[in-house]
Amino acid sequence: MTVAAVSRCLSLLEILAGESEAVELSELADRLDMPASAVHRLLATLAGHGWVVQETASQKYALSLRMSTLAFRNLDARNVPDVVQSILDRLALQTREYCRLAILEGQDLVWVARAQGAAHGLKYDPDMGQEIILHATANGKAWLATLPEEQALSIAYSRGFGGGRKLGPNSARNIDELRVRLAETRRQGFATSVEEAEAGTAAIAVPFRASADSSAAVAGTISVAGPLVRITPDRWEELASALHRAAAELSEIWPLRSRQRDAARPRERVPSMISG
């Protein structure tokens, strides 16, 4: 299999992952800009390995549950859910809003855990599979603001300001606007996103580090989000304080998570040295 074929397979999986319903072969071919026969071969290969299923009645294609199973297996192997869920649950209870945690993977943030604290009224319940658009989200800006400005702006510039999906009306449109927002994030000690990632919503976020040492590397971000009518400026300080407390807890236990992960890995047997 060539690199190009692998790339096409991954693109196909990404398309199917974003669909709630099965998709016709012709539509997939159009979206991939490939002949239907070539897409059919890719689908047949993926189906043979259990990644894709074809509906008998409609003949349409959808992802199997294998990817979800592997994703949860990977999170379990990293000890992410057990370590962070209790902290997120407490934060959601305190703030009465939707809370999420993202971990840093290279130059990307990836959602790994969430907790819903809104018991009544409007509930914000976004898709955990969505890409975190760094320049438009509170989580993204919370991390970018910890980096040297030139590095942060370079990362954002390399991604572009379109975001690959429809963003909110207030999202930064260029480097100059982002520079101002990152400076504001550093000044106030937390990041905000008011109708930037999505219309009608707002969020507050802070980073947390890989240990309690203030010089430790950033491990991820934690946020509170909800409808714009509830996440108002008069609540920002209160929510930011709750987030900083949760971030401090995460930094305290993050080294334990790493040790647990290391302990779970099989150890290589070292031959004993016998003298004689």
Q: What is the pLDDT of residues 238-266, one digit of tens each?
A: 999 999 999 999 998 887 655 444 544 45
Q: Give the per-residue pLDDT at 196.
A: 96
What pLDDT does 77 receive?
55
pLDDT given at position 258: 54
β strands within the chain, DSSP E: 52-54, 61-63, 98-105, 108-116, 191-194, 201-209, 218-227
pLDDT in the model for residue 3:
85
Structure tokens at 38: 């070539």
For residue 102, the model assigns a pLDDT of: 94
| Predicted pLDDT at 271 | 44
> pTM (2 decimals)?
0.69
Dihedral sign from CA coordinates of 194, 235, 205, 87: negative
**Model pLDDT, residue 169:** 95
Instruction: Please identify which residue in the block is written with the tokens 């539509």.
Output: 27
Token pair belonging to 265: 């890995």
pLDDT one-digit tens code per residue, 47-61 = 988 889 998 889 999
pLDDT score recorded for residue 206: 98
Q: What is residue 125's predicted lDDT score, i.e. its pLDDT? A: 84
Q: What is the mean pLDDT of the chain?
A: 86
User: What is the C-alpha to C-alpha distance for residues 40 and 37, in angstroms, rounded to an integer?
Assistant: 5
- Return the pLDDT at 131: 86
Which pLDDT score is estimated for 276?
36
Neighbours of 189 (CB within 10 A): 14
Mean per-residue pLDDT pooled into runs of 10, the chain (276 residues) = 83 86 92 92 90 90 79 58 80 96 92 90 82 95 97 95 83 96 97 96 97 93 96 97 96 70 48 40
* Spatial separation of the C-alpha atoms in residues 264 and 266, rounded to whole Å: 6
Rounded Cα–Cα distance for residues 233 and 265 (Å): 46
* Residues 118, 209: Cα–Cα separation, whole Å: 27
